[in-house]
């Protein structure tokens, strides 16, 4: 029996592929690539893996065209991955909620009264919920990719605008982009002593 557990990203991609393939419309690799936002070569790699496991079968069409269909095993696998995916994010929510709560309590105990968020995604929303359990105030939200959006009533601004003259602690409010945002902040000259992230102590500039 194969006991290898897929990484969350791998299982998420597999679930996306199986979900797309489960529709009535026959889809090419190029169309799957467009819908999932990943390279055709990566789609091909995932499909080969799913075909080898018996979850997907290939159907030939005239003019050398191919479509991909779910097998009964593939339908069962899609359900399993959907449940696994839900469980993963439930666990992520629980852990992130506690980690951010601990971080904000530490900041509050050290005399901090205001924070800035850097990074907007589903984890940032968890961070905001944890923030409400403290006396801290969120004064700005930064994310170059989400500029102009609203985050719980606050406009999302670019990092350049949000960091202008800031001395308030900056909390990295995204787990999946944590390392990327840390490097960007450091590259913009933000002092390591005011950069914080859930599940970590103070992040020092290098």
Class of domain 8-70: mainly alpha
The whole-number average pLDDT for the span 107-117 is 94
Q: How far apart are CA 182 and CA 195, in angstroms?
A: 8
Query: How sure is the predictor about 108, in pLDDT bands with cuts at 50, 70 and 90?
Result: very high
The whole-angstrom separation of Cα 148 and Cα 19 is 32
- Comparing 28-32, 44-48, 182-186, which segment has the lowest mean pLDDT? 28-32
pLDDT value of residue 15: 83
Q: Which residue has the higher pLDDT, 8 or 165?
A: 165
Helix 40-52 and helix 29-36, axial crossing angle in degrees, nearest 10: 110
Q: Does 89-197 match 8-70 at the fold level?
A: no
Domain boundaries, the chain: 8-70, 89-197
Flag whether pLDDT at 8 surpasses 70.
no
Greatest extent of the chain over all pairs of C-alpha atoms, in Å: 71
Q: Is beta strand 154-157 parallel, antiparallel or unpaired with respect to 137-142? A: parallel
Please enumerate in sequence order all residues whose Cβ is within 8 A of that of 98, keeping only pairs 6 or more positions apart, or say none: none
Give the integer Cα–Cα distance in Å for 93 and 76: 26
Residue 1 pLDDT level (bands cut at 50, 70, 90): very low
pLDDT higher than 80, residue 202? no
Q: What is the CATH number of domain 89-197?
A: 3.40.50.720
Q: Which helix (H) or strand (E) holds 24?
A: none
Per DSSP, the three-state class of 67 is strand
pLDDT mean over 118-130: 91
Q: Give me 152's structure tokens.
A: 């719980």
pTM value is 0.59
């Amino acid at each position: 029996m194969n006991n290898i557990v897929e990484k969350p990203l791998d299982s998420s991609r597999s679930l996306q592929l199986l979900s797309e393939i489960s529709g009535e419309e026959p889809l090419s690799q190029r169309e799957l690539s467009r819908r999932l936002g990943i390279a055709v070569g990566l789609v091909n790699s995932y499909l080969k893996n799913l075909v080898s496991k018996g979850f997907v079968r290939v159907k030939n069409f005239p003019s050398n065209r191919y479509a991909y269909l779910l097998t009964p095993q593939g339908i069962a696998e899609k359900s399993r991955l959907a449940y696994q995916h839900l469980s993963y994010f439930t666990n992520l929510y629980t852990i992130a909620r506690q980690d951010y709560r601990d971080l904000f309590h530490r900041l509050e105990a050290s005399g901090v009264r205001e924070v800035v968020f850097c990074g907007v995604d589903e984890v940032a929303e968890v961070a905001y919920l944890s923030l409400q359990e403290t006396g801290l105030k969120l004064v700005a939200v930064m994310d170059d990719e989400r500029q102009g959006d609203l985050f719980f009533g606050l406009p999302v601004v670019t990092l350049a605008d949000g960091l202008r003259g800031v001395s308030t602690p900056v909390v990295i409010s995204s787990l999946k982009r944590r390392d990327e945002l840390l490097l960007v902040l450091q590259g913009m000259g933000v002092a390591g002593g005011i950069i914080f992230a859930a599940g970590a102590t103070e992040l020092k500039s290098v």
